[in-house]
């Protein structure tokens, strides 16, 4: 049996490990923390809203981020101290601005596929959680690719 190591026991690592194990691989998950899901996957907003997958790579996000830096209760703050990693990250962020539309469409497609996969996985594994089925609408002013399903 082929052995696979997955590094990181957040939602991404654990669902990858689950799928690989189902496909017959011997999977070992490694994490720097003692338990699974102790970092970003620990206490997020809990929303499973596939349609809310608009990418942030827009000039508006940069202007909003600059305004937030002057607010003490900002929802997101960037430490202004420069580092090569941060500068590289910012350049990469900006170089993706022209691809905002196509990246959003691809992200929505991926989110819809992930939601279907998650539902299937939870049902199959008998995982019950306080899931609530609600609809909310997001209207985006962009050309919709016909491959994109409305969710
Ligand atoms: C405030 C907030 C609210 C959010 N709300 C929502 C929401 O409502 N709905 C939604 O869908 N998403 C939400 N998200 C996003 C979502 O939580 C993340 O996209 C998701 O948890 C990322 O999972 P992950 O497995 O990729 O990363 P993580 O959960 O961060 O897992 C990465 C794991 O890798 C481990 N690791 C890292 N480096 C190493 C190493 N060198 N060696 C060993 N282990 C290592 C870490 O310990 C960690 O356990 C939110 C995020 C934030 C911050």
Atom 31 of ligand 1, nearest CA residue: 10
Let me know whether 96 and 140 are in one domain: yes
- Among 11, 28, 46, the domain boundary falls at 46
- Domain carrying residue 95: 49-151
Let me know whether 42 and 66 are in one domain: no
What would the pLDDT profile of 89-145 be if each residue is shown by its tens digit?
Answer: 999 999 999 999 999 999 989 998 988 988 899 899 898 888 887 776 766 665 555
What would the pLDDT profile of 30-67 be if each residue is shown by its tens digit?
Answer: 999 999 999 999 988 888 888 788 899 999 999 999 99
CA distances from 26 to 10, 29, 37, 108, 128 (A): 19, 10, 21, 32, 26
Instruction: Say what the pTM is.
Output: 0.77
User: Can you tell me the distance from the alpha carbon of 146 to that of 151, in angstroms, rounded to the nearest whole number?
Assistant: 13
Let me know whether 125 and 114 are in one domain: yes
- Token pair of 133, please? 């089925």
What would the pLDDT profile of 1-32 be if each residue is shown by its tens digit?
Answer: 899 999 999 999 999 999 999 999 999 999 99
CA distances from 130 to 10, 46, 133 (A): 20, 10, 10
Let me know whether 35 and 83 are in one domain: no
Kind and range of the H or E element at 29?
Answer: strand 26-30
Report how far ligand 1's centroid is from the alpha carbon of 143 (Å).
31
Let me know whether 40 and 54 are in one domain: no
């Amino acid at each position: 049996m082929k052995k696979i190591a997955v590094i990181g026991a957040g939602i991404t690592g654990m669902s990858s490990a689950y799928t690989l194990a189902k496909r017959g691989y011997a999977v070992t998950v490694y994490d720097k923390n003692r338990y699974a899901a102790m970092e970003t996957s620990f206490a997020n907003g809990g929303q499973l809203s596939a349609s809310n997958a608009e990418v942030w790579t827009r000039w508006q996000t940069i202007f909003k981020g600059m305004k937030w830096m002057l607010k003490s209760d900002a929802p997101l703050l960037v430490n202004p101290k420069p580092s090569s990693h941060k500068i590289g990250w910012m350049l990469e962020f900006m170089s993706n601005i022209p691809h905002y539309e196509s990246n959003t469409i691809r992200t929505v497609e991926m989110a819809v596929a992930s939601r279907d996969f998650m539902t299937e996985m939870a049902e199959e594994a008998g995982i019950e959680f306080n899931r609530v089925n609600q609809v909310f609408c997001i209207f985006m002013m962009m050309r919709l690719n016909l491959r994109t399903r409305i969710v």
